Chains A and B, each alone.
Chain A
Amino acid sequence: MKKSHIIGIIVIAITIGVMVVALMDANTYANFETADKNPGTEYHVAGRLDRDKEMVYDPVKDPNIFTFYMKDTLGVEKRVVLHKAKPQDFDHSEQLVLIGKSNGSDFEANDILMKCPSKYNDGKPVTTENK
């Protein structure tokens, strides 16, 4: 076997390895139901913040715990325990993506992505008609 062939085989092997490992590392978007069925598996769950339910952040007790309620895309609502400080602009955000796992009763998130309306309507005067 020529050297160039060996190198070629190694390169192809690494390429395949990169793809397989990346897909294994990735977790998938899911809803609360799926997350509940597989407690302990990490998921991304997208949904909307429920503003009517209480949001609790008591930094004096623990600055690293913030709880609130979120409705996922199918309308299932769950209490979410975020293990972080309450994000700066949480009150203005609507759409949330949680990264975490279910523990059976609550959803334990260790990270959160927020879409603030102001950020995503950027530049469009909201009340005007947008053609």
Chain B
Amino acid sequence: MPNASLGRKYAGQPRRSSQPLRAATYLLLAITAALWAIPLVWLVCAAFKKPGDMWSYTFMPYGEPQDKLIAVDGPPNEEPWVINGQEITVGSAPGCSVRLSNDAVPPLALRLTIEDGRWIVRPGPGVRNVAINNETKAEHKLSTGDVLHIGPCSLRYEEAHTPTTRNFSDLFVHFNFGRYLLNSFFLTSAGTSISLILSSLGGFALAKYNFKGKHALLILMLATMMIPGSVLLAPSYELICKMGMMNSYLGILLPGAVGAFGMLLFRQAMLGIPDDLLEAARIDGCSEVRIYWNIVMPVVRPMSGAFCLMSFMGGWNSFLWPMIVLQSENLFTVPIALSQTIGLQGDNLYGLLMAGTFLGVLPPAVLFFMLQKEFIAGLTAGAVKG
């Protein structure tokens, strides 16, 4: 009689996991996943935050959707003035009660206009300068915390606590971010394309041909793979200087095109191609190049996909060598620009930094989505087979 208790067919059979165990597992996984995801979620939110809101809200700002002027040292229950519309005039009256007016009533002390989503304060007619933060100026772009002085009164400006795309537009307008992105895209994709062709060609030759020096080459490449890249930094730098490729794209593309790892990967993948297939093609009169291009490459598509992704990610995030080679600011790639240029601007620009990081992370993420399966297959193929 089968052991009816708990639905087991025989003793020792792993029993169908109980509900509490499952719940506990899900809970554990959920907590860990939350911990893992939170910094990235924060990153995305921070990219859309105004400087004043960066630390006040953990994730997205959700407070007052209005810009306000608040009387400094005013009576405690005094309502802040909500500033709306495209242009506001602020006048002062005796008794330090500041009025907002939309009709032209002299005397006018300050005029506020919206430009590019930011309030700019300028003197009203009859007034020479505006007084902001104890300074007198001809005009001023308001940011949270600025204090306007009108006669004896002071008004503190507080920007609406809402998400903004300002960081992104600042990146492209004030910093050369479009250029940095273009540089990154070009260097990474050109590098990957070149690498792909060279590595697959070489891998093909190593896999399917017997030629003089084949074994020597193989051993040489395996040997060089054991040497960490830092050994090459100093002499490569000297070489690039001598060849005049310093501070140019070539200085990144050429040294980056060679990686023994890729060639060996393709060799591994191509070893499995049946030789009869190639012979048949030869009998049909195909040239070797056509065999490579039209027969072999389609067969190793999964490997190509994985290789492309790995190469792209490696190239996109590459930092040390580009930092050494690229000196002109208009050649910078996104990682270098973020840490060396934008990152050093000062602490009120965290939003900018996070926006740049967000944009910098997007392309490899998108590519990964497209190539998930190949990537994981490629990753694990080598590891699991040992």
Partners in one complex: no
Which residues of B pack against A, CB within 8 Å? Answer: none
Which residues of A pack against B, CB within 8 Å? Answer: none
